[in-house]
Structure 1
Amino acid sequence: MKKVIFTLTTCLFFNLTFGQLKLKGKIQDEKEPLPFVSILLTDSASVQLTTLSDSLGRFSFQLPKAGKYHLLVDYISYEKFEKTLEISEDQEIQVQLAPAKIEEVVVVGQRPQIQRKVDGVVLRWANPAMLKGLTMQDALRRLPMMIRSKNGLPEVVMKNRTVYYFNGKRSFLSNEQIQQLLESLPAEEIESIEVITNPGAEYDEQGNVAVVKIFLKRGSLFSKIYLEASSRQNTFNSQAANFTWVKQSKWNTNLNVSAKRSAYRNITNTEFYENDKSSAMLNYQNMDFRGKLSANGNYIASRQLPKNQEIEIQASANISSTRVEPVIERSDVFYQTWTGSAWQTISQGVQENIKEGQSSLQNLGVFYKKGYSKGFLSTNLVLSNFLSEDFATLIYTSDISYDNRTQNVKQGIQSAYLRTDYTTMLKNSQLAFGFYGAYTLNQTDTKWQNLVGGTYVTDPNNTFRYNYDEQYITPFVSWSKQWSPQWQSKIGIKLENTFNRGKIDDEPKFTNTYINPLPDVSLMYLKSERHIWNFASRGYVVRPDFWQLNPYRFYISPNFYVENNPFLQPSYIVENTLTYTFNQKLTLAAQWRHQTRRESQINLQDGTNNIVTRLNVADENLYTGALNYGEVFWKQRWQMNLGLSGTWVEYLPYAQFADIFYRTNFFFGSANLDNTLLLLQNQKSTLNLNFGIYASTSGYDANMFIKPIYNLYANLTYTIKDWTISLETDDLTRRMVMRGVGLMNSRIFLLNTYGDDRMVRLRVRYVLGSKVVRKQDSNIEKGDIDRRINK
C-alpha cells in the first residue's frame, strides 16, 4: 500500500513540477529586435497570460497545460500580429512585425496604452499623432498619476521627488538641465515611458522617489532638425531658444542645444515677535533676479551591435551666469520694543545684497550591454565635473550702525559613478544582481572680507576651506517571478555602505560610516484586467547632501545668519504602499511612511546672534491617500485627468528639543484637474487645448503654517505641416506664493511671500526637413519615409 501511495505521489509531483510547457520567442522588425512589446497569450477557457519583451526582444511563457492558444503581439507604429498555436511540447517562435499603415485621419484615443508591472507601469500612446507639436514636458504632465509641479518638472503623486532616466539609463543632469531638456525635446520622439512607482533594490535612488524612464524612438531612415524660440512674460521678460537634431541611422543620435534667460521678482514680508513682547523685528525683502543666462547641451547616441550587444554614449554640458545682471536683494529692517501699549521703533536700516556668479557642469556617460543565451550583462560609467564661483556684497546701513562685507565662494565637485549588473531569465522569473557605487570629491573655498577704514580686510573667523569626500558601494540582488496569471512578485535587498569625511583648512573634523541593509518587497494581484492590486514595502536611507553638511554661513542681517551642520546624520525611512486600479481608469493608493532622525531647519540662540541651522530633531509618520481618475469623452477627443491627494503628518520631536519643536499633527491636501481637448486633427494639422486647475489646502512645513493656494492654467497648441505655435498661460488668479505663521524657539513669526508667477509664454517651433541618411535606404519609396516620420 505504501508503495502504491509513493508511486502516486511521485507521479503527481512530476506532473505538477515538470508537466508545464514553455513557449518562448523573439520579437523584431525587418532589421532589429523590438524591446518592451506587449504580448498576450490566451486559450478558449480561462488562461490569459501577458508579458513584455525584454530589451533584446525576447519573451517567454510558462503554460499550465497543452492545447490550442491564441498569440497577440501589439506594438505602436506596427501592425498587430496574431497567430493560433497548437502547443504539445516546449516551443520557440520568431515574430516579425510589419510597419503600420497610417490613414489620412486617425483618431484612436488620447489616453496612453497602459501595461501594469509589479513595480510600476509602462505607457505608450495609442495615437502617437497626439504628441505632435508638444514638448516632452507637456506629454509627461498628461500621464496618469503625474501632476504639474511648482518648478515645472512633472512629478508622480505621493512622491517627494521624481528622477528621470533616458533610454533606461540613469541621468546625472541637474534639475535645471532636465527641465530645459524636457521643454526642448519634441514629444513625438518618445517611444514609450516607464514609471517606476516603487523602485526596488536595483535602483540607486534615495528618499521617497519615483523613477520615470523615457525611451526615445529607434529607427534607420531619417534625420530631423527642430528649431524653437519662445518668449515668457511675467514681471520681466525671459527668452529661450532650442536646437534639436534627431538622426536615425547606424547610430541613433539625439543632440539638443538650448539657451535661456531667466528673470523674476519675489517679495517677502517677515515679522518676528518675542513671546513676552520684549522686542520685534520686521523685515521687508525685494529680490530682483533679472539676468541669469544659461546654455545647455545634451548628446545621446546609441547603437545596436552584433551578437546581442548595445552601446550608448551620453554627454552633457551646462553653463549659467548672473554676471551680466547681478541678483539684487533689498531688505528694510525695523527693530521695535514694546512700551506696554504700543510698539516703538528703536532702530531701522537697509540690508542690500548684490550677488553674481557663474557655474558649469559636465557629464560623460558610457553604457555597454552584452546579451547571452539566458540574460545580459551591462556596465554603466558616468564621470561628472561641477565648478562654480559666487560673489556677494552685503551692505547693512541703519541709523545706529553700518556693516559692509563681501563673500566669495568657490566650489568644485568631481565624481565617478560605476554600475555593473547581470540579468538572467529563469523559469518564469527574472534574477538581477550586481553593484553600484560612486566616489565624490567636493572642495569649497569660502572667503569673507569686512570693510574697515575704507579697505576690505579678510575675516579669519569666517574664511575657511571645506573639503568633503564621500564614497559608497552597494551590492544588490532582485528577483521577480510570475507565479500564475494572477500573481507576480518582486523581492530584493541591497547593502548600502557609505563612508564620508570632512576637513576644514585641511584639519579632519568628522568621519562617518553607514552600513544599512535595505529590503524591498512588491506584489501584484491581477484578479482580471479590470481589477489590479499592488503592494510594496521598502526601506531606504536619505544621506545628507553637501550643502547640508558644509558649515557655510550667510548673513541675512548682521544679527541673523544661516549656518549648516557638518554632523548631520542620515535618516532611515520605512515605506508601505497599497494601490488598486480599476478598469485602467481609476487608481486608489494609500501609503504609510515612518522616518527616523528627520532633519530640519530650526532657530537656536547663540549669544547675541540668531542662527538657523540643520539638526536631526524628530521622527515623523505620514499617512497619505491619493486618487487618480482618467476618462475620454467626445469621440475620444477629450481627455480628463483628475488627481486628489491628502496627507496626515504626525511630527514627533526628540525630548532634548521639546522646548524648540512641539509635537504636531496636521493635514494638507491637493487637487489637480487637467483637461486636453483635441479640437482638430488631420494629416496636415492638429489643434490642442490643455487647461486645468491646481489647488492645495492649508499645509505645514516644519514649524510654518502655509495658507491654501490655487492656480489656473491653459495651453493652446496649433501644428500645421512643419510649424507649431503654442500660447501658454499659468497662475492666472493669484500672486501670493506662501503665507506662514508659527513658533521658533521663544519667537512667533509671520511670513508672506509674493512672486510674479502669473505668466504668458509664446513658443514657435519649426521642423527643418528630413532625408534618407543611409545609401542602402535610397531605394525606399518617399511614401514609406513620410509614413515613418509621421508626415
Structure 2
Amino acid sequence: MKKLFNIIAVLFLISTTGLMAQQTTGKVTSPSKIVGVAKDVETGEAVPYATAALYAAGSDTNVAGAVADGDGKFIITGMDPGSYDLKISFLGYETKTVSGIQVVSKTGDVNIGEIEMSDEGLALEEVTVQGQRDLIEERVDRTIYKAENDKTTAGGDGTDVLRRVPMLSVDLDGNVSMRGSSNITVLIDGRPSAIAASSITDALKQIPADEIKAVEVITSPSAKYDAEGTSGVINIVTKKNNLQGMSANIRTGAGLRGSDFGLNASARKGKFGFTLGGYGRAGYNVNGSFENTQMTTNDDGTISSVIQSADTKSNYLFGRYNFGVDYEVNKYNFLTAAVNFGIRNRSNSQNDFQTQNYVDGNLMRNALRETNTKDNSNSVDVSLNYTKTFEKKGKEISVLTLYSSNNGENSFVNTLFEEDMSTIDSRLKNDNPSKNEEFTIQLDFVEPIGKDGKSILEYGAKNILRKAYSDFAYFQADGAEGDYVEDMNPNLSNEFSYDQNVTAGYVSYTATLLKNYTIKPGLRYEYTTINADFKTETTTADIPAYGTLVPSLNLSRKLSNGNMIKASYNRRISRPSLRYLNPNIDASNPLQVSQGNPDLDPEFTDNYELGYSTFFKNTMVSFSGFFRNTTGSIQSVRTVAEDGVIYTGYDNIGHERAVGTNIFTNISLGDKFSLNGSVDAYYAMLDNGLTDPKYAASNEGFVVSGRMFGNYTLPKDWQVQAFTFARGNRVQLQGTSGGFYMYGIGLNKQFDEKRGTIGFGADNFFTKEFKMKNEIITPTIVQNSTNIMRNMNFKINFSYRIGKLSVDQKTRKKKSVNNDDLKGGGSEGAEMQQNK
C-alpha cells in the first residue's frame, strides 16, 4: 500500500503543479487578447475545439495558442505587441492562415471576427497547405490521433495505426489494451462490426491503414454509450466524403512478410451518394518458434517437469468489401444504408513439436507431434438508418438499425508420431463451427434547452438481440490413413446455443456553468436476459436475468490560454464473450487444455480520472491520472491432473485495481519537423480472492510503456518518418507476460500534382527476431515459456487517385448504431456517433 500512496502522491503533485502554474498565469491583470470564432464556410456552424496557433509574422516561431470552446470561440493571450500570423486547424478541415495581425499594446484586445474554415476536400489540387499539421488533437472527452497524416503506416493495417496512438498498447500478436486493460470496445465509424465481434485483433488486420482517417480514444464514455468496456472506447474513423463528382483510388504494397491490394470508388450526384470498395491483405513467411518449461509439485512430493519446443509458421488472407448509399430526402430527413462483407482465413502450424516428460529429473516419455490449426470466418453487416432534424438548431431524432452475422470455422489436427519419430501413430481432430448473430434497433433524441441552446438533453432506448452457436466435436483416427471416429462424450462433442437480450434506456444532460465550467451527468439502465442450452441434456447452464444501473459524470474547466482540466467518473459492465463462454475443449496442445465457462457472470468496474492539458510556444503537453477498480473479474483457474496436464478454465473470482498516469507531448519545430511521444505507467494490484492455498493467487507491480514518433518534410514533396515503441513486462494474476519493442522508418514521395504516392518502409530492420518470455507461478505450477517472432520487414507502397471531387454545398453528418459490449475481443455496444 505504501507504493500505492506514493503513486497517488505523484499524480496529485503533477495535477497541482499544473494548476499552480495556471493560477500564476492568472495573476497578470487584463493581458492583451486575440479573440476570434472558427466557423464552417459552407454551413456557417461553429467548429468546436479548433486549434489556434500564433506565430511571429513571416516565421515558424510559435508564440502562443489556444483551443476553441464548444461554440468555436478562442482567446489567445501571452504575446507581446507586434505583428503575428494565426493558423487555425481542426480534423477534417484545411488549415486556415490569417496574416498581418497587429497587437499594439500589452492590454488591448484584437477581435479578428469569424474565421471561415473549408472542408479539406475543397480544391484538393489548388490549395497547398504549408507546415506540419498536428497528429494529436485533445477534446473535452477524447484524444484524437490523426492517422491520415502518418505516412509510415502506408501498406499496413489497423494494428500498425493503433501502435502509434497515445494510451494504447499493441503487442506483437496484435492484442490491444488501454491503460493495461484489454477489456475495451472497438467501433468502426461509430458502430460495431461483425468482423470485430469475435476478435478485435483479427478485425484490425482487415482494415487497411490507408483507409483510416483518425482514431478516437474515449476513456470516459457518457451514458449514451453502452455500459461495456472497462477501459473505454476506441472509435476508428475511416475516410469518407460528402463531395460531388466521381473519384477512384488504387493502392498496393508488397513486402517480405505480406502484400496488400485495395480499390475504392466514390460518386455523388445531387441527393445521392455512393461508395464501393474492396481490400485484400495476405501474410506469409510469418515464422517463429516457442519453448515451454513447466514444473508441477505432485501430492506425493515428486516433481514432474515438461519441456516443449516447436517451430511455428503462420499464413493468412484477409478481405473487406463494402457498399454504401445515402439519400437526402429533403432538408430535414436523411437515409443511409450500408453493407459490409469480411473474410478471414488463417492457418498456423507447429512443426517438430517435441514434448519431454520428466519425474524427479528422470526422462519418462519423449513424444513428437505436428499441429495444424485453421481459423476461417466470413461476416456481414447490414445497416439502415434514418435521421430527422428540425428548424431548431441541434434538435434531432434518429432511428438506427443494424444486423450483423459472423460464421466461423475453427479446427485443428494433432498428429502423434511413434517412437521412431517418423511413423504416424494417431491423429486427434477437433471441429468447431460457430455462428454469431446480432440485431439492434435504437431510438435517440437530442433536445437543446434554453434560449442559447447550449444546454443539451439526450435520451433514448435500445434493444440488442444476440444469438451465439457453437457446434464442437472430437474425432480420433489410427495411423496416417485411418478413418476419423467421433468421440460421443458430451463434454467433447456437443452443441451449445447462447441467446442474450439487452434492453437499455439512458438520459444525459450537458450544461455550461459560470462560463468556463461544463458538467455532463448521465444515467443508463440495462436489463439482460440469457438463455443457454446444450443439445445433450446431461449438460446444463442456468443463468438468471439481471439489471444494471450505470451512472456517469464528466466535469471540465477551461483555463486561460487554452488550458483545460477535467475529471470524470463512470461505472462499466463487461459481459463475457463467446471466447470465455465456449465449452469447446481446446486441446491443440495436449498438455495445456483450456475450456470456456457458460455460467460466467459479468464483471463491474468503477473508473476515476483526472486530466490536465496545456501548451506553450511550440509544445503541447497532456497529463492524466486514473484509478480503476474491477470486481467479479473473469480470471483463469488452472488445475493439474494426475497425468500432468494443466487444465485452464474461467471464473468470476478476480479483484483488479490499477492506478496510473499517461503523459503525452507534441513538439513542432518549424514547418518541417515535428516530434511527439508519450509514457504510460500504472501500478497493477490483482487478487483472485480464494483462500485454498492450492489456488489462491495475488500479484502487483508496475507496467511501463513508451513511444516516440518523428516526421520531417523534405524538399520536392519528399517526407521521412520514424517511430519506436517499447513495453516492459506486464503483471498478471499468476506471473508476468514479457515485454517487447519495435521500430520502423518510412520514406514517401508524392508525384503528379500529389495524385500519386510511392514509398519505401522498413520495420525492425536491425532485429532478426523478438523474444517474449512469459512466466506463470502458482503454489503447484511453475511455467516459463519463450515465444519467438521474426518481424523484420521491408515494403514498397504505391497509391494513385483518378477523378476529381468538389465540395457539396450541404455536408451532412451521419449517425449509426454502436454495440459496445462483450469482454474478450467483442466490439458490441451502443452509441450514436456523428461522423463527417
- TM-score in terms of structure 1 length: 0.79
Q: Structure 2 residue aligned with 1:638, among 654, 660, 673?
A: 673
Query: Within 5 A, what are the aligned runs for 1:364-375?
Result: 364-374=382-392, 375=395
- Per the TM alignment, residue 198 of structure 1 is displaced from its structure 2 partner at its CA by 1.4
After superposition, the Cα gap between the structure-2 partners of 1:28 and 1:258, relative to the gap in structure 1 and judged at 3 Å, is same
Q: Partner amino acid for 2:773? A: R
Is 1:294–2:318 an aligned residue pair?
A: yes
Q: Structure 2 residue aligned with 1:458, among 479, 482, 486?
A: 486
Correspondence for 2:757:
724
CA contact (8 A) 2:738 2:773 kept: yes
Query: Within 5 A, what are the aligned runs for 1:650-665?
Result: 650-665=685-700
- Per the TM alignment, residue 386 of structure 1 is displaced from its structure 2 partner at its CA by 1.4
Q: Partner amino acid for 1:505? A: K
Correspondence for 1:273:
295
Is 1:647–2:677 an aligned residue pair?
A: no
After superposition, the Cα gap between the structure-2 partners of 1:600 and 1:390, relative to the gap in structure 1 and judged at 3 Å, is same
Query: Within 5 A, what are the aligned runs for 1:727-738?
Result: 727-734=760-767, 735-738=769-772
The CA deviation string for residues 218-274 of structure 1, in whole angstroms up to 9 with x for no partner, is 4433322111111221xxx42221111133443343322012222322311111113
CA contact (8 A) 2:345 2:377 kept: yes
Aligned equivalents of 1:267, 1:74: Cα separation in 2:
48
Correspondence for 2:376:
358
The CA deviation string for residues 687-725 of structure 1, in whole angstroms up to 9 with x for no partner, is 222212212223222323234432222122222123212
Correspondence for 1:484:
514
- TM-score in terms of structure 2 length: 0.75
The CA deviation string for residues 131-188 of structure 1, in whole angstroms up to 9 with x for no partner, is 997989577766665666645698766664664545544545423675356425446x
Q: Partner amino acid for 1:677? A: Y
- Per the TM alignment, residue 194 of structure 1 is displaced from its structure 2 partner at its CA by 4.9
Is 1:238–2:258 an aligned residue pair?
A: yes
- Per the TM alignment, residue 105 of structure 1 is displaced from its structure 2 partner at its CA by 5.0
The CA deviation string for residues 493-526 of structure 1, in whole angstroms up to 9 with x for no partner, is 1112112222111645222322111111110011
Aligned equivalents of 2:321, 2:799: Cα separation in 1:
18
After superposition, the Cα gap between the structure-2 partners of 1:271 and 1:139, relative to the gap in structure 1 and judged at 3 Å, is closer
Q: Structure 2 residue aligned with 1:740, among 763, 774, 781?
A: 774
- Per the TM alignment, residue 580 of structure 1 is displaced from its structure 2 partner at its CA by 0.8
- Per the TM alignment, residue 129 of structure 1 is displaced from its structure 2 partner at its CA by 11
Query: Within 5 A, what are the aligned runs for 1:513-532?
Result: 513-532=545-564
CA contact (8 A) 1:315 1:362 kept: yes
Query: Within 5 A, what are the aligned runs for 1:244-283?
Result: 244-249=264-269, 250-263=271-284, 264-275=286-297, 278-283=303-308
Query: Within 5 A, what are the aligned runs for 1:386-425?
Result: 386-399=406-419, 402-425=425-448
Correspondence for 2:367:
349
Query: Within 5 A, what are the aligned runs for 1:659-698?
Result: 659-680=694-715, 686-698=717-729
Aligned equivalents of 1:516, 1:436: Cα separation in 2:
14
The CA deviation string for residues 611-652 of structure 1, in whole angstroms up to 9 with x for no partner, is 11112232111111111011101x221111111011111112
CA contact (8 A) 1:218 1:248 kept: no
Q: Structure 2 residue aligned with 1:313, among 297, 317, 337?
A: 337
Q: Structure 2 residue aligned with 1:379, among 399, 402, 415?
A: 399
After superposition, the Cα gap between the structure-2 partners of 1:347 and 1:471, relative to the gap in structure 1 and judged at 3 Å, is same
CA contact (8 A) 1:731 1:758 kept: yes
Aligned equivalents of 1:628, 1:717: Cα separation in 2:
26
Identical-residue share of aligned pairs (%): 13
Q: Partner amino acid for 1:459? A: D
Correspondence for 1:437:
463
After superposition, the Cα gap between the structure-2 partners of 1:147 and 1:278, relative to the gap in structure 1 and judged at 3 Å, is closer
Correspondence for 1:762:
796
Aligned equivalents of 2:51, 2:415: Cα separation in 1:
69
- Per the TM alignment, residue 285 of structure 1 is displaced from its structure 2 partner at its CA by 2.4
- Per the TM alignment, residue 460 of structure 1 is displaced from its structure 2 partner at its CA by 0.9
Is 1:593–2:624 an aligned residue pair?
A: no
Q: Partner amino acid for 1:730? A: D
After superposition, the Cα gap between the structure-2 partners of 1:695 and 1:178, relative to the gap in structure 1 and judged at 3 Å, is same
CA contact (8 A) 1:74 1:81 kept: no
- Per the TM alignment, residue 426 of structure 1 is displaced from its structure 2 partner at its CA by 1.0
Match of 1:636, SS? Answer: coil
After superposition, the Cα gap between the structure-2 partners of 1:107 and 1:77, relative to the gap in structure 1 and judged at 3 Å, is closer
Q: Partner amino acid for 1:209? A: G
- Per the TM alignment, residue 362 of structure 1 is displaced from its structure 2 partner at its CA by 0.6
CA contact (8 A) 1:377 1:421 kept: yes
**Structure 1: stretches of 5+ with no match in the other structure:** 1-24, 42-47, 54-58, 62-71, 83-92, 775-791
Q: Partner amino acid for 1:715? A: G
The CA deviation string for residues 459-480 of structure 1, in whole angstroms up to 9 with x for no partner, is 1111111111111111111111
- Per the TM alignment, residue 215 of structure 1 is displaced from its structure 2 partner at its CA by 6.7
- Per the TM alignment, residue 344 of structure 1 is displaced from its structure 2 partner at its CA by 2.5
After superposition, the Cα gap between the structure-2 partners of 1:529 and 1:364, relative to the gap in structure 1 and judged at 3 Å, is farther
Match of 1:565, SS? Answer: coil
- Per the TM alignment, residue 94 of structure 1 is displaced from its structure 2 partner at its CA by 12
Match of 2:749, SS? Answer: strand
The CA deviation string for residues 19-75 of structure 1, in whole angstroms up to 9 with x for no partner, is xxxxxx996655x6768555899xxxxxx995447xxxxx999xxxxxxxxxx9987
CA contact (8 A) 1:533 1:579 kept: yes
Correspondence for 1:603:
638
Query: Within 5 A, what are the aligned runs for 1:188-227?
Result: 190=213, 194-204=216-226, 205-212=228-235, 214=237, 216-227=239-250
Aligned equivalents of 2:375, 2:727: Cα separation in 1:
35
Match of 1:548, SS? Answer: helix
CA contact (8 A) 1:165 1:171 kept: yes
- Per the TM alignment, residue 113 of structure 1 is displaced from its structure 2 partner at its CA by 7.7
Match of 2:331, SS? Answer: coil
After superposition, the Cα gap between the structure-2 partners of 1:513 and 1:359, relative to the gap in structure 1 and judged at 3 Å, is same
Correspondence for 2:658:
622
Correspondence for 1:704:
735
CA contact (8 A) 2:310 2:350 kept: no
Match of 1:394, SS? Answer: strand
Is 1:77–2:94 an aligned residue pair?
A: yes
Correspondence for 2:10:
none
Aligned equivalents of 1:394, 1:132: Cα separation in 2:
37
Q: Which moved more, 1:202-211 or 1:151-160?
A: 151-160
Correspondence for 2:310:
285
Aligned equivalents of 2:671, 2:194: Cα separation in 1:
38
Aligned equivalents of 1:719, 1:698: Cα separation in 2:
40
After superposition, the Cα gap between the structure-2 partners of 1:259 and 1:186, relative to the gap in structure 1 and judged at 3 Å, is closer
Q: Partner amino acid for 1:179? A: L
Q: Partner amino acid for 1:221? A: Q
- Per the TM alignment, residue 527 of structure 1 is displaced from its structure 2 partner at its CA by 1.6
Q: Partner amino acid for 2:262? A: N
Aligned equivalents of 2:502, 2:460: Cα separation in 1:
14
Larger Rg: 1
CA contact (8 A) 1:158 1:645 kept: no
CA contact (8 A) 1:232 1:759 kept: yes
Q: Partner amino acid for 1:711? A: M
- Per the TM alignment, residue 730 of structure 1 is displaced from its structure 2 partner at its CA by 2.1
After superposition, the Cα gap between the structure-2 partners of 1:619 and 1:108, relative to the gap in structure 1 and judged at 3 Å, is same
Q: Structure 1 residue aligned with 2:579, among 547, 560, 570?
A: 547
Match of 1:270, SS? Answer: strand
After superposition, the Cα gap between the structure-2 partners of 1:525 and 1:593, relative to the gap in structure 1 and judged at 3 Å, is same
**Structure with a larger share of its residues in strand:** 1
After superposition, the Cα gap between the structure-2 partners of 1:132 and 1:705, relative to the gap in structure 1 and judged at 3 Å, is closer
Q: Partner amino acid for 2:455? A: S
Query: Within 5 A, what are the aligned runs for 1:94-109?
Result: 106-109=129-132
Q: Partner amino acid for 2:250? A: L
CA contact (8 A) 2:295 2:783 kept: yes
Aligned equivalents of 1:707, 1:725: Cα separation in 2:
36
After superposition, the Cα gap between the structure-2 partners of 1:262 and 1:674, relative to the gap in structure 1 and judged at 3 Å, is same
Higher RCO (CA-CA < 8 Å; seq separation 6+): 2
Match of 2:576, SS? Answer: coil
What RMSD, in angstroms, separates the aligned Cα atoms of the two structures? 3.8
